[in-house]
Amino acid sequence: MDEKKLNIKLKIWRQSGPNTVGSFVDYNVSISPDASFLEMLDELNNSLEKNNQDPIVFESDCREGICGTCGMVINGEPHGPLRKIATCQLHMRNFKDGQTIWVEPFRAKAFPVIKDLAVDRSAFDKIIQVGGYISVNTGGVPDANSIPISKEIASEAFDSAACIGCGACVAACKNGSAMLFVSAKVTQFALLPQGQPERQKRVEAMVAKMDEFGFGSCSNTYACEAECPKGISVVNIAKLNHEYRLAKIKSKNVEV
Ligand code: SF4
């Protein structure tokens, strides 16, 4: 039996480089409802290449929602219309036959467009480099359970560690803030004994680097949490603010 295909009109942002002016270009695709959004773009690119046209540049890697590489704004929402999934987990069955879909890159001052839908998110790497690590003394392997961590704390730290660094929170925020991303990383380590040696300098360094790259301040709209594919809570931002204040007080040698 012939599979019923969806006829979709696409308006995709095309931009040949960081310093050129981009615009939306129209495409029509006929696609299986079971295709993922990225497979739909793959098919479109195959037909563009067959016709000697420049394929659309977009990023992807694991295609199972765990690496944070894919990311685009679909009909005005980072990662598209569904909650708690990355772009690679979105399927065409979530759209209607004949629907028009607008596709554009994550837009933020700190994420300049490289080409088409690909943006430079290396600012996140730089933020991680200044604080997203722990120091461990060399020596014998510690006994299992020699640092007991309660289930509650372990679960809380794990929830924060679920951040995949996709950048959707930045794209969702009208201020282009990276507070949700940075707060998830800071909170993850602040909760655990292993994160204590760098606790103070980590939060100061990561916030300073975030500011250096031009990410905006928190808009308090919770748009970041709403669009986050991993459901990272804005409670992490409250914890980041607490960690930052604590670090500043300690670095000024004030009694807490
Ligand atoms: S907090 Fe959520 S939206 Fe922001 S980078 Fe992490 S996973 Fe992506």
pLDDT tens column, 40-97 = 999 999 999 999 999 999 999 999 999 999 999 999 999 999 999 999 999 999 999 9
- Confirm whether 208 is domain-assigned: yes
147 and 75 within one domain: no
pLDDT confidence tier of residue 252, bands split at 50, 70 and 90: confident
Q: Contact at 8 Å (CB) between 237 and 179?
A: yes
Residues 6 or more apart whose CB falls under 8 angstroms from that of 32 comprise 3, 5, 6, 92
Task: Using a pLDDT cut of 90, give the percent of the chain over it.
Answer: 91
79 and 177 within one domain: no
Q: Which residue has the higher pLDDT, 232 or 145?
A: 232
Span from the CA of 164 to the centroid of ligand 1 (angstroms) = 6
Ligand 1 binding pocket mutation candidate from 164, 179, 224, 234 (most atoms within 8 A of CB): 164
Q: Does any ligand 1 atom lie closer than 6 A to the CB of residue 88?
A: no
Atom 5 of ligand 1, nearest CA residue: 165
Residues 6 or more apart whose CB falls under 8 angstroms from that of 54 comprise 48
Q: Which two tokens stand for residue 195?
A: 């994160």
Q: Contact at 8 Å (CB) between 87 and 36?
A: no
Span from the CA of 82 to the centroid of ligand 1 (angstroms) = 15
Distance (Å, whole) CA 96 – CA 76? 17
Calculate mean pLDDT across residues 239-243.
98
147 and 46 within one domain: no
- Confirm whether 1 is domain-assigned: no
Span from the CA of 182 to the centroid of ligand 1 (angstroms) = 9
pLDDT (0 to 100) of residue 253: 64
Domain boundary among 104, 131, 163: 104
Q: Does any ligand 1 atom lie closer than 6 A to the CB of residue 168?
A: yes
Q: Does any ligand 1 atom lie closer than 6 A to the CB of residue 105?
A: no
127 and 97 within one domain: no
Q: Does any ligand 1 atom lie closer than 6 A to the CB of residue 178?
A: no
pLDDT in tens, 2-50: 679 999 999 999 999 999 999 999 999 999 999 999 999 999 999 999 9
Look at the pTM and tell me if it is higher than 0.85. Answer: yes
Calculate mean pLDDT across residues 230-248.
97
- Confirm whether 225 is domain-assigned: yes
22 and 127 within one domain: no
Span from the CA of 203 to the centroid of ligand 1 (angstroms) = 18
Q: Does any ligand 1 atom lie closer than 6 A to the CB of residue 132?
A: no
164 and 214 within one domain: yes
Span from the CA of 3 to the centroid of ligand 1 (angstroms) = 36
220 and 154 within one domain: yes
Give the residue among 2, 166, 162 at the shortest CA–CA distance from 70.
166
87 and 39 within one domain: yes
Residues 6 or more apart whose CB falls under 8 angstroms from that of 13 comprise 22, 23, 24, 25, 103, 104, 105, 116, 117
Structural domain total, the chain: 2
pLDDT in tens, 130-142: 999 998 888 887 7
Range(s) of the domain holding residue 31: 6-104
159 and 77 within one domain: no
pLDDT in tens, 89-125: 999 999 999 999 999 999 999 999 999 999 999 999 9
CATH of the domain at 86: 3.10.20.30
Distance (Å, whole) CA 228 – CA 223? 9
- Confirm whether 72 is domain-assigned: yes
84 and 21 within one domain: yes
Q: Is 57 helix (H, G, I), strand (E, B) or coil?
A: coil
- Confirm whether 98 is domain-assigned: yes
What region does 136 belong to: left with phi over 0, alpha with psi -120 to 50, or beta?
A: beta
Paired residues of 119 in beta bridges: 113
Atom 1 of ligand 1, nearest CA residue: 181
Q: Does any ligand 1 atom lie closer than 6 A to the CB of residue 157?
A: no
Q: Which atom of ligand 1 is nearest to the CA of 162?
A: 7
